[in-house]
Structures are given as C-alpha cells and as structure tokens.
Amino acid sequence: MNSLISVMLVDDEPLALDNVYQMVPWTENGFQVVAKATSGRIALQMFEELQPQIVITDISMSPMDGLELGRLVVKLAPKTRLIFLTAYRDFDYARQALEMRAAHYLLKHEISRNRLLEQLNLLKEGLAAEAAEEEGHGHALHILLKDMLEGKYQALPGNQESRLRRLVAEHQQGQPALLYFELDAAILLDGSRRNKRWPVSSVWKNIEEEIRLQSKDMEDIHILEMDEGGYIVLLKLSSSSSLLLQHYNLRQIAAQVIEGLDTYCEGVLPRIIISAGGGAELPDRRYVAIRQAYDYSIFLPPGALFLLEQAPSTGGASVIANEVRQYLLSPEKSKLDRLKVSLEKVTTQARLGDLRAVIGEVSVECRKDGSFCTDLELGQDARQIVSSLYRILEDRLQRQQPRNNYSRWVNRAMDYVAGNYADPDLSLETVAGHLQISSIHLRTTFKRETGQSLLDYTTEYRIALAKQLLQTGEFKIYEVSEKVGYKTSQYFSQVFKKTTGMQPKDFLQQKGGE
C-alpha cells in the first residue's frame, strides 16, 4: 500500500549519478529512490530484486549500455517506465528509446530539476491511471484523498469533475475527523522522525472492514498511507453529535485500530492522535498540525490516545537550551550534573519545546565536529531520547578532558580530521599543509603527545563513526565505507576487522541480535 513511486537511477559516472539524485526532492513529490547503480549489469540485478516502477538511466555505458538495459528491463517488467539520459552527440541514437516504450529521453546538458520533475509527474499520472484501472475505484480514491490532505490536490473546473473528485470534495468540505499514527516512530538527532511501513496492504483493508461493521455512527472510513511515512484514518461521522460525542466515537474507533494492529501486526501498539471534524480549518492544514503535534506522543506509553488540542505549544525561549549551549562551549562536570537534573524535569513534566530545543543545540554541535551521524536514532520515547542526549553530552566532556593537555597543533589536527574524515585522500601531508607546518613536525608532535600516529587516530575516528552508521540500520556496508572516507568496501572491511576484530557484516548481525 506504499503510495510512493519507486525509482532506480543508473549512471556509470558516480558524480553524474549523485547529481541526478540530489536534483529532485523525491519523497515530497511522491517518489522514492530504491536503488542507485553504476553499471548496467548491477542495475539489472537490482531491478530483478526490487522491480522499481521507473528507471532513469544514462545511455552511454559500458559494457552494457542503457538501451540494452532498457530492453531487458521491459522484457522482465513491461509496465516499467524508462527515462533515458543522453549527451547531445548521441541524440539520434537515443531515438531507439521510443521503440521500447520509453517514457522520454532528456539531454544531459539541458537536464534540470523542473525538466526532470515534469517528466516524473507525467509518469506518476500514468501510473496512477493504471493503478485505478487495475485496483479499481477504491485505490484511485485513496490517491486523491491523500493528495487532498497533503495539499497537492487541485479540483478540476466546470464539468470535468468526476465521481471520484466529487467524493473528495465531500470529504474536503465536510471536515472529516482524522486519526493519525506512525509505526515504531523514533526521533533522530536532526529532530526529524523515522518510522516503519507495514508492507501488507490487506491489513489496512481488513481493519477498515471490521470498523465499518462495528461502528454505528460512522458513514465512511479510509486508512491512507501518507508519503511522509505515517498513516491517516480519515472518517466521515454521522452529523449531529456534540464535540464530546465525536471525541467519544473517535476514541472507540482508535481503540479498534489498535486492536486490529495488535492482531495483524504482531503486537504493534502505535500512539494515536485524534482530531474531530468541524471548525473552519481545511483538512490539509489540520493534517500539517497533527503531524507537528505528533512529537508529543513520545511522552506517552505505547497504545495511548490523545487529542490534537492536548498537545502543548512549543514556542518561547528555552532556558535549558541555553544551559546546553554554555556547556558545549566549555564542558565541565558540575554543568553536566546540573543538566542531568534539568533533562529529567523535561521528561517528567513533558516539556516538548525544551526537548526540541536541546536536540537542536546538540545536533548543531554534532554537525560542527562530525563526530556523530545526524540521522542517529535517539529513541522512541522521551526517556530513551534524554538518555541518548545525555550520553552525547557526557562524551563531549570525556573527549575535552584529554584534549586540554594537547598543544594547539595537535588539537587543530584533530579538528581537521573531524571535519574531513570523509575525504579518501586525507593524509598526514594534507593535514600538515592545512596547518601550514611541516609533516615531520606534525608527525613527531602528534605521536609524542597522544601516543599514536595521526594515521592510527584517523582510522580509529573513522571506524567509530562507521559503527554508529551501521547501528542506524539505514546504510549498506559499501555506503558506510564511502561516508567515512574509504574508496572501496573491501579495504574498509579489512581495516574494520583489524580494528574491531570482526567484519562489518558480523558487527551488524551482533547488533541485530542484541
């Protein structure tokens, strides 16, 4: 039931591949890049496994070029959409793409965000039309309702309104009631939320049908998987009821959703936020407010229900954020002890604004020194989050204490490593050149003061970061190796084993079993 259109990018030039990937805000436009490949053969293997709906590929590749890849892709999955990227000199050659039902081809020197998005949106419309034909009225309606809540829906003028669009208008004007939840939602160090998808669409259909049968005061229900990752239960309640009765009915329906998830999804108990219909606010604005307010759920137990109105506002200055800022400027044990008490109060008093402010301060500091991955998962509830933040703050103190004994050259060398560890060409010579001192002086000074070479220090730094990236579960081993400055995953694995005593894959399995 994932409504994001899956996309694979293929180009044998890594820089060109990254350029296309960075060009489009994929998720917010309804797409998801599920694979990136730097050769036609690798791309074909990935396609067989992932079956993306759209393939964007360069034509000029070796040994398998984009046209051959396209032919094989269409043979495996005839409904796949293809976009070919070509240089001007290969323009005539690119016309062969039309024989394979290619969606379009774009000249590389003309490609831009708008041009690529224009083609992608055309494909999206075609895929949505096909989905409506294949899965019927219900799925097409879900797509339109989702677009309405996400502010992407546009009504057609005059007599162009279809029955589906009239149903959307009824929901839009009738102020539907909304329930919102996320599965295994966790707060990341950058302040965003990461959540999981439940892959079996029949689960939601079953829950919908059970609620229809059991709820007397409900006229319509749709469970929608939103592009941002959460789920909306969009409800049309019987007209009449007071706000109090609406809230009662919504709580009953929310309890049924939780019961259904507990039955079908092996004990998953999401926290659910509730917003009754009525009032002047349009559903898309209410949806935005609900998503923003959902952070408050971290203070509640699994399976909890709460009203949108119960989520506190988060404006105003934060005293504890200033305490954190001062501590990070000059870490001291006494300051850390006071922060521990303050962080406990944030948890017990459910001060969401303060917690967001602290996460912001810590995130800024981590970006500065590069010592933590900014998408590091802090936790799924307030206590886990506060505990993770405290460990990061404590780490700052532990790292600061020995550095007070080092000379400015050693400290500056460490700072340079922290800011440039991802550069595969980082070396003693490049650091010395940046500091404008001789490499011999830096080598002897660093070894004398720290007891290890700059190379060993850099290796330890990179492997420590690699562990954190692997623990997030978001990156493959070859992606981690690139992020921490190794040109090949094979060499990265050798260094990782030499440093930790185990291969990266064994480290992942060990963490997964804990």
CATH of the domain at 464: 1.10.10.60
Domain assignment present for residue 357? The answer is yes
**Position with higher pLDDT, 158 vs 43:** 43
pLDDT at 440: 93
pLDDT at residue 85 in the model: 86
CA pair distance 86, 107, nearest whole angstrom: 5
pLDDT(94) > 70: no
175 and 281 within one domain: yes
Inter-axis angle of helices 137-149 and 283-293, nearest 10: 70
pLDDT of residue 280: 63
Instruction: With beta carbons less than 8 A apart as the criterion, state whether 350 and 299 touch.
Output: yes
How many domains does the chain contain in total? 4
Tokens for 383?
């206590």
Q: Are 358 and 318 in contact (CB under 8 A)?
A: yes
Whether 141 maps to a domain, the answer reads: no
- Give residues with Cβ within 8 angstroms of 101, minimum separation 6: 74, 78, 82
pLDDT of the residue at 306? 93
CATH number reported for the structural domain that contains residue 246 in this entry: 3.30.70.100
**Non-local CB neighbours of 352 within 8 Å, separated by 6+ positions:** 295, 296, 298, 299, 311, 312, 314
The pLDDT of residue 159 = 45
Q: Are residues 178 and 281 in the same domain?
A: yes
Token pair for 284: 């898309």
Q: What pLDDT was estimated at residue 162?
A: 62
Q: Which residue has the tokens 């009504």?
A: 155
Domain end among 230, 260, 295: 295
pLDDT digits (tens, 9 = 90+) for 399-411: 766 666 788 899 8
Tell me the one-letter amino acid at 249: N
- The per-residue pLDDT for range 41-62, each reduced to its tens digit, is 999 999 999 999 999 999 888 8
Q: Which of 384, 400, 416 is the last residue of a domain?
A: 400
Of 14, 65, 59, which Cα lies nearest the Cα of 37? 14
At 459 the pLDDT is 93
- Whether 71 maps to a domain, the answer reads yes
Over residues 331-342, mean pLDDT: 88
Domain-embedded: residue 140: no
Q: Annotate 376-407 with DSSP letters as a single string.
A: -EEESSHHHHHHHHHHHHHHHHHHHHHHTTS-
Residue 253 has pLDDT above 70, yes or no: yes
Is 142 domain-assigned? no
Same domain, 392 and 425: no
Parent domain of 367: 315-400
Prior bond of 63 cis (ω within 30°):
yes
Domain boundary among 78, 110, 126: 126
CA–CA dist 511, 491 (Å, integer): 22
For the segment 76-83, the average pLDDT, to the nearest whole number, is 87
431-454 per-position pLDDT tens digit: 999 999 999 999 999 999 888 899
Residue 118 is part of a domain; what is its CATH number? 3.40.50.2300
Q: Tell me what the mean pLDDT of segment 276-280 comes to.
A: 70
pLDDT mean over 493-512: 82
> What is the layout of strands, in order, in the sheet containing 272-275?
218-225, 231-237, 177-181, 272-275, 305-307
11 & 108 share domain: yes
Per-residue pLDDT tens over the stretch 463-502: 988 888 887 777 889 999 999 999 999 999 999 998 888 8
Residues 385 and 325 in one domain: yes
Distances (CA, A) of 232 to 201, 204, 332: 14, 11, 46
Is it the case that residue 22 has pLDDT exceeding 80? Answer: yes
Residue 216 is assigned to a structural domain of this protein: yes
Residues 163 and 291 in one domain: yes
pLDDT at 405: 76
Alpha helices in 24-112 (DSSP H): 40-50, 66-76, 91-94
pLDDT of residue 182: 93
Q: For the segment 235-249, what is each residue's pLDDT rounded down to a tens digit?
A: 887 766 678 888 888
In this prediction the pTM is: 0.55
Q: Are 51 and 89 part of one and the same domain?
A: yes
Six-digit token pair at 491? 């060499």
Predicted confidence at residue 364, as pLDDT, reads 85
Please state the rounded mean pLDDT for residues 252-258.
Answer: 90
- Same structural domain for residues 422 and 485? yes
Does the pLDDT at position 455 exceed 90? yes
98 against 461, higher pLDDT = 461
pLDDT band at 299 (very low <50, low <70, confident <90, very high): very high
Same-domain pairing of 33 and 95: yes
**In angstroms, what CA-CA distances link 242 with 236, 246, 277?**
15, 6, 11
Pair (263, 355) in one structural domain: no
Would you say residue 335 lies in a domain?
yes
Give the model's confidence band at 231: pLDDT under 50 very low, under 70 low, under 90 confident, else very high.
very high
pLDDT at 2: 58
How does residue 89 score in pLDDT terms, banded at 50, 70 and 90? Answer: low
Q: Write the CB contacts of 506 (distance below 8 Å, at least 6 apart in sequence).
A: none
Question: Per the structure block, which two tokens stand in for 413?
Answer: 């060398």
Q: Are 272 and 305 in contact (CB under 8 A)?
A: yes
Instruction: Please state the rounded mean pLDDT for residues 362-385.
Output: 79
Q: Where are the alpha helices (DSSP H) in 279-381?
A: 283-293, 319-329, 333-348, 352-369
For residue 32, the surrounding DSSP H or E stretch is strand 31-37
Mean pLDDT of 114-131: 82
- Give the mean pLDDT of 68-85: 88
- Do 256 and 174 sit in the same domain of this protein? yes
User: Strand, helix or coil at 225?
Assistant: strand
DSSP-H helix ranges across 102-237: 113-135, 137-149, 163-173, 202-214
| 458 shares its domain with 423 | yes
C-alpha to C-alpha distances, 190 to 16, 71, 83, 287, nearest whole angstrom: 27, 42, 34, 22
